[in-house]
Amino acid sequence: MLQLNVKNETSRLKTVILGTAVSNGPTPEAYEAYDPKSLEHIKAGTYPVEADMVKEMEAFNDVFKKYDVEVYRPEIIKDYNQIFSRDIGFVIDDIFIKANILPDRERELDAIQYVIDKMNPAKVLRPPEEVHIEGGDVMLWDDHIFIGTYKGSDYKDYITARTNMQGVNYIKEMFPHKTVKEFDLVKSRIEARDNALHLDCCFQPVGKDKGVIYKSGFREEADYMYLVNLFGKQNLFHIEREEMYNMTSNFFSIDTDVVVIEKNFTRLKNWLLERGFTVEEVTYAEIAKQEGLLRCSTLPLIRE
């Protein structure tokens, strides 16, 4: 039986589900794109090919091996994108919550059912249908749970709006002892540089008391200020619009002092090294073209 335990983003990782790019399928048609960045690359003829993405994910897997992390992979669904395992579920404390994701992606949950079967069934929850919540929007910080959402009245018109206020309220009800704080994110269907698809596209904690943040990803300055006041401005690394577009805040922590980043993130790398972090670099630029990066392709199950 898997003894689930995730209380934050940075404690020592023991067990994780890493997505897969195997049998990823042909390049989608423009109308099939779920986000503006994929659309941009479909139109430009630069959409990533399977062989490159498989190679990138194996390099990430090698880092997990190096740190002796137990890695599960989804069962392969033929011609289907299964890279972003973060979207389909998440663990808070010792509870696994299945995400109500876009209906087309339901099969991705079936592909990790063999892992879910190793969990205590009483600790596996499926929220009611009206609750929309995806793992990329859920960020744990010990007593706090940060959740990205979109409060615009046109929520239903945005395929990039993935977590609604019912999702936020569901987590508040399930975890009454935690401070649950939602953040209203900037969304765009047409310009990837102005689209915070999930909270981890514009904010992520790192280490014990630091974070990486993109101020313009928040619709309300008060939401941004909440994090500044909580972490302290001196502890936050501010990224620019182009860095947000390249998913700079979507790194992944294996431990409080070990961070995996995309190898092009030079500015972030230097900031981390100056603060004593061990930085593991992988090439992930092809996968990034689908508006997801390292955190998006992981689903942590156990941290120490």
**Tokens, residue 27:** 């390049």
Residue 155: its pLDDT value, please? 67
Q: Return d(Cα 220, Cα 60) in angstroms, integer.
A: 35
Q: Return d(Cα 142, Cα 205) in angstroms, integer.
A: 11
Question: Averaging pLDDT over each range in 2-16, 41-55, 149-163, 177-191, which range is the top one?
Answer: 2-16
Q: Which residues pair with 101 in a beta bridge?
A: none
Q: What is the Cα Rg of the chain in Å?
A: 18
Residue 259 sits at the vertex; the CA angle it makes with 258 and 262, to the nearest 5 degrees, is 150
pLDDT in tens, 236-276: 999 999 999 899 999 999 999 999 999 999 999 999 999 99
Q: Are 149 and 137 in contact (CB under 8 A)?
A: yes
Q: Are 27 and 42 in contact (CB under 8 A)?
A: yes
Q: Are 245 and 293 in contact (CB under 8 A)?
A: no
Considering the four listed CATH numbers 3.30.420.40, 3.20.20.140, 3.75.10.10, 3.10.20.30, the one that applies to the domain covering 13-303 is 3.75.10.10
pLDDT in tens, 205-245: 999 999 999 999 999 999 999 999 999 999 999 999 999 98
Contacts of residue 5, defined as CB under 8 A and 6 or more positions apart, other chains included, come to 91, 93, 94, 302, 303, 304
